[in-house]
Structure 1
Amino acid sequence: MNSGPSSSHSPADVRAQAARRRTFAVISHPDSGKSTLTEALALHARAIGMAGAVHGKAGRRATVSDWMTMEQERGISITSAALQFEYRDCVFNLLDTPGHADFSEDTYRVLSAVDSAVMLVDAAKGLEAQTMKLFEVCAHRGVPIITVINKWDRPGMEPLALMDEIQERTGMLPTPLTWPVGQSGDFRGVLDRLTGEYTKYTRTDGGANLAGEETFAPETAAELEGEAWTTAVDESDLLDMEDQNHEEATYLEGRSTPVLFASAVLNFGVHKILDTLVDFAPAAEARPDAAGEPRPVDAPFSGFVFKVQAGMDSNHRDRLAYVRVCSGVFERGMVVTHAATGKPFATKYAQQVFGRDREVIDEAFPGDVVGLVNASALRVGDSLYIERKVEFPSIPTFSPEHFMVIRAKDSSKYKQFRRGIQQLDHEGVIQVLRSDLRGDQAPVLGAVGPMQFEVVEDRMNNEFNAPSTLERLNFSLARRTVAEDVPTLARERSVEVLSRSDGELLALFSDRWRLQGVERAHPELTLEPLVVS
C-alpha cells in the first residue's frame, strides 16, 4: 500500500507540465566537444554564469558535468551527468554522456531515459566509429536525433560533403535548419534556412561568456559578407532542390535529422540548438511498459532507475539513484512500490541534480530526473510506481570483453575492499564475477573496455580507501550458460565459468576459436550470446 502526500495537480496539469519537458542526451565520439556544448547550453539558458571551458592554462576550469577527478585530469567524460534548467517556457533535462567507447554501457542506459538526442559531429572528422554506433543505438531505440556540426571555427570538411556522408552512412536525410556563412575555420555566422535571415556571431575572450549575436535581413547580409553569403545562399538552394528541408514527422520517425552548425567552445550557434529543442524535439509522452502498453503521462506516478552513482559527495559517502519520471507527479516523501520486490520504498531524500551539485526537490513531472539518496535497494533498470502496477523494459547488460582479477593490497582493509567492489557492482561500473574456486577475496571483473578498470582502481584507492591490484586474465568473450553444463565446461582448457551478481552464469573463453571448438565438441551445451536489445 502506498502512502505519503497526495497530489494537488489535476491530470490536465500533469499533461501540461509533461508538454514543457525536453529530456535529451548529448552524445558523440570522444573529443567532439560534448561536455563543452553541455556547458554552453546551460550558459545560454542562464543556468550558469560562466562556461567551465575557459581555455588557456592559467584560467582553465572544470566543466559542471565533468565532476570526477579523473574526468577533470583527462579532459574526457567517463560518467553520465544530469543537468536541469529552464529556457523559454520549457524545462530541459539534459543528460551528458561518456563519449569514450569503453563507457558505452553508461551511454546506452542514458538513451533508455531520454526522448531525443543531440549528436555532435566534429567538422573535420565527420562520422567516426563511436558516432556510428550511437546513431545505430538511437535508431534501434527510436530516439530522434538532432545533429550538430561542431568546431566550425576550425578547418574541416566541406558542408555539403558532410551532408552526403550523413545520408550515405546513416540512411537518414540531413535537413539543415542553419547553414554556415564562411567556410570551416572562418565561422562568421549562419543562414537561418527557415527565415532566410543572417545571424552574425562575435567572439568573446576564451568563449566563457555569451557570444555576441546580431540578426540581419538577407540584403544587409549580402552587403556585410559578400561572397561568403552568396555561397551560403547558393548551397542552401541546392538543399532545397534535393528536398532537404525539415519535416517534423520524418524527424520524429528517425528518417531525417535536423542539422545545425556551431562552435561550442566559442558559444556560436548555441541559441539555435536550444530553440530547435523547444520548437521541434518531442516532449515527455506516454512510455511503453515491458508488455508494450503505453503508460499515459497523467497516470499515477511511475518511473525507472537508469543510473546509480556513488562518490558524488565526499562528505556524506552517499549513493544516488537517478530515476526518470514516466507518469504522474513525483512528490518528496511519497512511498512508492519497488516493482522488483513488491516492497514499499520511501522517498524522503529526493534531490534535483545539476552536475555534482544537488538541492532538495519537492515535486517532479514526466520527463524529469529525480535523484533518490541512499537508495541501496535500487538497481539499474528497476521500476517504481504507486497505485497501478507497472514495470518498464529492463536495461540489458553488455557482454564484457576484458577480464581482470582484483585483490586488496592490504588484507587488513578487506572490509573496505568488499564494500567498494559491492558498490561498483551495484552502480554497474563493472561486472563482478565470482566462483567458489576463486573466493570473495579475488573476484573477477568484466568490462566492455579497459578504461573501466582504471576507474575501478582509482575509486578503490581514493574513494573506498582500499588500494588494490589488478591482474589481467586471458579471456576475451563471454557466453551465458546453465548450471547443468558447468561440469562439462570445467573440463575444457581456456574456459572458466563464473557467476555474475544478477545470478547469470557466464562461461568465459580465451577467444572465438576456443568457443567454436567447444561448440563443435559439445553441441548440446547452452552457450548464448549476451545480446543488447
Structure 2
Amino acid sequence: MILNTEVKRRRTFAIISHPDAGKTTLTEKLLLFGGAIHVAGAVKSNKIKKGATSDFMEIERQRGISVATSVMGFEYKGIKINILDTPGHEDFAEDTYRTLTAVDSVIIVIDCAKGVEAQTRKLMEVCRMRNTPVIVFVNKLDRDGKDPFDLLDEIEEELKLSVRPLSWPISMGPTFQGVYNMFEQKLNLFFADDKQTVADDVVEIEDINSEILDKHIGGYAKSLRDDLELVNGVYPEFDNEPYLKGQLAPVFFGSALNNFGVRELLNCFIDIAPHPRPIATETREVSPFEEELTGFIFKIHANMDPNHRDRLAFLKICSGVFERNKPYLHTGTGKKIKFSSPTAFMADKKSIVDTAYPGDIVGLHDTGTFKIGDTLTQGESLKFKGIPSFSPELFRYIENADPMKFKQLAKGIDQLMDEGVAQLFTSKANGRKIIGTVGALQFDVIQYRLEHEYTAKCRYEPINLYKACWIETTNQEQLKDFRIRKYANLATDKRGREVFLAESPYALQMAQEKFTDIKFHFTSEF
C-alpha cells in the first residue's frame, strides 16, 4: 500500500532547452515556489565562486560540483517532485540525452524572441523516441519577441508536435500586462518590481466577457478575447491521453526571471504529468508497482578534484523500494552489492537516504563497478532498454604520447568510455583508435582527465569524418560486398558492433542508395 501511494505522488522530469533560453532560472524559480529555497539563486550557492576566465578545467571543476545539484527533489502540495537539470551546452548533449532516459516527462523552455533552436530540435527527437510527455514553457515574455501564434506554428512545425495553449500572454515586452490562465480560468497580472520573492497577483475570471477583465487590463481586453476565441477555434481541447502519449504538448507563457507564469506551470504540471510509468527491459516490462527493486544507472560522474577520486553513479529506481545496506544484484557482474551511504539530492544539499521509491534518483558511490546502462535488481536478471549512444559529430585519432604509460592510457580510455564521456571506435583497416564526441570541449576533458586521473598522456590527430553509423542487414551477400568496398571506412565500437564511418554527407547518401538492404542507424539501439 505504501509503495502504491509513494509511486502515485512522484513526478520525475527534466528541464531541457537551448543554452540561454532560461532553463536554470526556471529551475530556481520552481524550487522557490516549491519552498525548497527561499531566495532565487540559492541553487548556485555551493558552486566554486571562481571566474569562468580561469583555466579550462577550473570551469570543468565548477561543473563537477554543480552536478551535485543536478537532481533536485522537493515536496509541493503533497507531491514529491524530482527535477533533473540537464547541461545546456551542446558539447555535453550526450549527458542530456541519457538523462532523458530517467524521466517520465519533460518541460521544454523556449525563448520567445529566438523561437525553436537547433539544440531544442535534437532534444525533442530523443523525447519522441521514448514518447515522453512534453510541456512547453515560452519564456522571457517581459522582452519583445515573436507573435504567440507564430511561435505556436513554429513549435508544431519544428518539433513535430500538436500544441494546446493553456495560458495566453496579454501583449509582451515593455507593454506586457500578464497572462490569462485558461487551465484555471484566472488572470495573472504582471508587476516587475520584486524578482526574488513570490507575489500573489491573481484575479479569478470565469467569464472572459466580464467587465472585470476591462477594469484590470483596459484596452488589452478586446485583443485578449479575440485571441482566446481564435485559440479555442484552432487548437484542440486539452486532453490528457494524447499528452501522456507524447502527441500533444500544453503550452504556457511567462517570464521565469520575474517569477511570472511559473506557479501556473507547476500547478498544472502536478495535475497532468505522469507518475513513474512501466519501463521496458529486453525480456519484459517492469511496472513501478512491483514489490521487488529494479533500477538502472543512467549517468556516472567522476569528481575531478585530485583529492577525491570517488565516482558517483546515478541510479533511477524503476520498481520496488531501495533500502540502504541491503544487498542488490548487479546483473552485469552477477555480484551482490550493498550501499552504506546512498545519496539523495535535496535542492542545494546532499543527504544520506535510507529508503527511496520508483521515480527517485539515488547517488551511489562507485569504485569503477558501474557502467552506464547497468541494472540493479533483487535477484532477477534484467537489462533495461532505451539508453542509447548517439552518432558522434566530431572525430579524432587518439595516440599515446608517453610509451612508458601504455597500460595506464588503455585503462583510462576504457573507463572514460564506460562513463559515456565519448565513444571509442577501432578502425578495421589500420587498428587505430578513434574518439568520437558530440562537442569539441570533450576532447580537452578526456586529455585532462587521462593525465590527472590515470597519469597517462595522449595526443590527437585530425581525421576527416562526417558521421558514424551502426549497420544492420539480413542480406549477407550485400553485406559482404559492402565490407569489401568500404573496408577503409569500417570500424568496431566498444561492444564489437560494426560501424560505418562516412567521410561526408554525400558518401553516406551514396552508400544508402547503393546498398539498399543495409540499414544505417544513428543511435546504437536498434
Greater shift, 86-95 or 168-177, is seen at 168-177
| Residues 38-81 of structure 1 deviation map (CA, whole Å, 9 limit, x = unaligned) | 222122212223333999xxxx9999xxxx9537989xx99993
- Consecutive unaligned residues of structure 2, counting only runs of 5 or more, are 206-210
Greater shift, 120-129 or 232-241, is seen at 232-241
- Consecutive unaligned residues of structure 1, counting only runs of 5 or more, are 1-11
Aligned pairs for 1:205-216 (under 5 A) are: 207=195, 209-216=196-203
Match of 2:414 among 398, 404, 422: 422
Alignment correspondent of 1:8:
none
Match of 2:154 among 160, 165, 181: 165
Alignment correspondent of 2:295:
303
Alignment correspondent of 1:446:
436
| TM-aligned CA deviation for residue 302 of structure 1 | 0.6
Alignment correspondent of 1:135:
124
| TM-aligned CA deviation for residue 224 of structure 1 | 3.0
| TM-aligned CA deviation for residue 512 of structure 1 | 5.1
Distance 2:265 2:242 in 1: 19
Contact 1:201 1:211 in 2 (8 A): no
| TM-aligned CA deviation for residue 152 of structure 1 | 1.0
Given the superposition, is the C-alpha separation of residues 529 and 390 from structure 1 closer, same or farther in structure 2, using an over 3 Å criterion? closer
Partner of 1:424, secondary structure, is helix
Distance 1:418 1:488 in 2: 33
Tell me the TM-score normalized by structure 1.
0.82
Asked if 1:151 corresponds to 2:163, the answer is no
| TM-aligned CA deviation for residue 447 of structure 1 | 1.5
Distance 1:391 1:47 in 2: 35
1:331 counterpart letter in structure 2: E
Asked if 1:99 corresponds to 2:92, the answer is no
Alignment correspondent of 2:425:
433
Match of 1:288 among 275, 280, 284: 280
Partner of 2:298, secondary structure, is strand
Alignment correspondent of 2:258:
266
Given the superposition, is the C-alpha separation of residues 445 and 284 from structure 1 closer, same or farther in structure 2, using an over 3 Å criterion? same
Alignment correspondent of 1:85:
74
Alignment correspondent of 2:208:
none
Alignment correspondent of 1:502:
495
Partner of 1:321, secondary structure, is strand
Greater shift, 493-502 or 258-267, is seen at 493-502
Contact 1:201 1:213 in 2 (8 A): no
Contact 1:416 1:464 in 2 (8 A): yes
Contact 1:26 1:38 in 2 (8 A): yes
Contact 2:17 2:109 in 1 (8 A): yes
2:75 counterpart letter in structure 1: E
Partner of 2:201, secondary structure, is strand
Given the superposition, is the C-alpha separation of residues 234 and 424 from structure 1 closer, same or farther in structure 2, using an over 3 Å criterion? same
| TM-aligned CA deviation for residue 409 of structure 1 | 5.3
Given the superposition, is the C-alpha separation of residues 469 and 216 from structure 1 closer, same or farther in structure 2, using an over 3 Å criterion? same
Distance 1:531 1:411 in 2: 34
| Residues 188-245 of structure 1 deviation map (CA, whole Å, 9 limit, x = unaligned) | 322121333222243356x4x2242311244555323212344333312322233543
Identity of aligned residues (%): 36
Alignment correspondent of 1:511:
504
Distance 1:356 1:409 in 2: 41
Alignment correspondent of 1:9:
none
Asked if 1:50 corresponds to 2:39, the answer is yes
Partner of 1:213, secondary structure, is coil
Distance 1:176 1:486 in 2: 49
Given the superposition, is the C-alpha separation of residues 389 and 415 from structure 1 closer, same or farther in structure 2, using an over 3 Å criterion? closer
Greater shift, 500-509 or 130-139, is seen at 500-509
Match of 1:322 among 311, 314, 325: 314
Given the superposition, is the C-alpha separation of residues 52 and 468 from structure 1 closer, same or farther in structure 2, using an over 3 Å criterion? farther
Tell me the TM-score normalized by structure 2.
0.83
Q: What is the aligned residue count?
A: 508
Alignment correspondent of 2:466:
476
Contact 2:393 2:439 in 1 (8 A): yes
Given the superposition, is the C-alpha separation of residues 83 and 465 from structure 1 closer, same or farther in structure 2, using an over 3 Å criterion? farther
Distance 1:185 1:495 in 2: 60
Alignment correspondent of 1:225:
217
Contact 2:372 2:420 in 1 (8 A): yes
